[in-house]
Amino acid sequence: MNHNPMKPYLGKLVEVRDLATEIKLFRVEMSNGGSEAFRTFQPGQFAFISSFGQGEAPFGIANIAERGPGLDFAVARLGSVTSGLHELGEGDTVGVRGPLGNGFPMDKFKGKNLVVLGGGIGGAPLRPVIQHVLDHRSDYGALTIIWAARRPDLLVFTEEYDEWRAAPDTSLHLTVDTPDEKWDHNVGLITQLLEKVAPATENAVTITCGPPVMIFHTTRLLEKMGFLPAWNYVTLEARMHCGLGKCGRCNLGEKYVCVDGPVFNMVEVGSLLETFL
């Protein structure tokens, strides 16, 4: 019998740890059929996680299947579901629906130089892109990671920065709006750092994720710098209910973020981004 896509699989939390202030990493190992459903998934896909008694919410899958068993989710505490998840610990059970959405066309990106721009928790769905490129390094050109947060304690995946910096033809550039006394990287908005780093536009694909206002200004600047809209990718967040293209909650023009996205290129959504602000 086909699995009802509205019915969550069960998953066990095998790792729960602080990633940044009010942001936790949850590693989930699937049971009751979920292991087969999540045997493969693409960078950029997402899943609904339920905290029993609180409801469910969508989160980007923050790892790649090839790096071992389990699904990683980086969850920022915001409201009822995310607060419920933050109260859970290792050994607890959650519900998981997915994998959902389209993901990044990593095959199409082969041979391209990648510029990855992550703002705050928006770094979560970009981590699998970085992992995939590092694990298939010769398939891709230069990898430029431009990573931002409001404050240093809000930067995600800090323990992985050395691995990223050490990879061939890979650079990492960090910025925060408000530094602390130990901060010795850039201070200012991600757009200011992007102009300073000025990655080459030739043969480049850009991938941006972060708060709507960051996506809006960053994509405008990328276009002004000469990056081609057809190669400027974004991953978007929208309010969602079903995640299956049925309820109409997540529409962006004629598209549904849950099934047509969350990954889009600027040719598809450029003129609609303002409605997201």
Ligand X SMILES: Cc1cc2nc3c(=O)[nH]c(=O)nc-3n(C[C@H](O)[C@H](O)[C@H](O)COP(=O)(O)OP(=O)(O)OC[C@H]3O[C@@H](n4cnc5c(N)ncnc54)[C@H](O)[C@@H]3O)c2cc1C
Binding site residues, ligand X, CB under 6 A:
46, 57-60, 74-76, 78-82, 121, 124-125, 237-240, 262
Interhelix angle 212-225/190-197, nearest 10 degrees:
20
CB-based contact 24:17 (threshold 8 Å): yes
Q: 242 contacts which partner out of ligand X, ligand FES, none, CB within 5 to 8 A by kind?
A: ligand FES
At residue 109, the 3 state secondary structure works out as coil
The residue sitting closest to ligand X, measured at its beta carbon, is 79
**Interaction of residue 220 with ligand FES, rule CB under 6 A:** no
Choose the binding region for ligand FES from 6-14, 72-80, 144-152, 249-257 (rule: CB under 6 A). 249-257
60 binds, among ligand FES, ligand X, none (CB under 5 to 8 A by kind): ligand X
Strand partners of residue 60: 46
DSSP string, 153-206: GG-S-GGGHHHHHHSTTEEEEEEESS--TT--SEES-HHHHHHHH----TTEEE
Q: For residue 265, give the nearest of 140, 255, 148, 203 by alpha carbon.
A: 255
**Least gap, CB of 45 to ligand FES (angstroms):** 14
Binding partner of residue 243 among ligand X, ligand FES, none, CB under 5 to 8 Å per kind? ligand FES
Cβ atoms of 269 and 234 within 8 Å: the answer is yes
- Please choose which of ligand FES, ligand X, none residue 78 contacts, taking the beta carbon within 5 to 8 angstroms, the exact cut-off set by kind: ligand X
Contacting range for ligand FES; rule: CB under 6 A; set: 18-26, 30-38, 171-179, 242-250: 242-250
